[in-house]
Amino acid sequence: MKVLVTGAAGFIGYHVSKRLLERGDEVVGIDSVNSYYDPEIKEARLRLLEETSRKTNAGYHFIRGNLADKSVVDGCFAEHA
């Protein structure tokens, strides 16, 4: 199953994405990686998701963007729908 996870670099989004990848689902993650809290923590989580994707052979695609930007959302669905 292909799943879109918003806020993929955040605490909840990261853990949901990781579980989905471990289950073998394809994950499309989207996050603006803003500075609400330390962006380095978010970047580390994104690296861990890439690693999990490689280990499980599950597809993982990350889009750095804001859901409030219509062009980001349109591009996401055009590429991954």
Domain boundaries, the chain: 2-80
- Give the pLDDT mean for 13-36: 97
What's the topology of domain 2-80? Rossmann fold (3.40.50)
At 55, the pLDDT band (50, 70, 90 cuts) reads very high
Q: What are 32-52's pLDDT values in tens digits? A: 999 998 999 999 999 999 999
Phi then psi dihedrals of residue 60, to 5 deg: -140, 130
Q: Provide the 10 A C-beta neighbour count for residue 14.
A: 23
At 80, the pLDDT band (50, 70, 90 cuts) reads very high
Q: What's 59's DSSP letter?
A: -
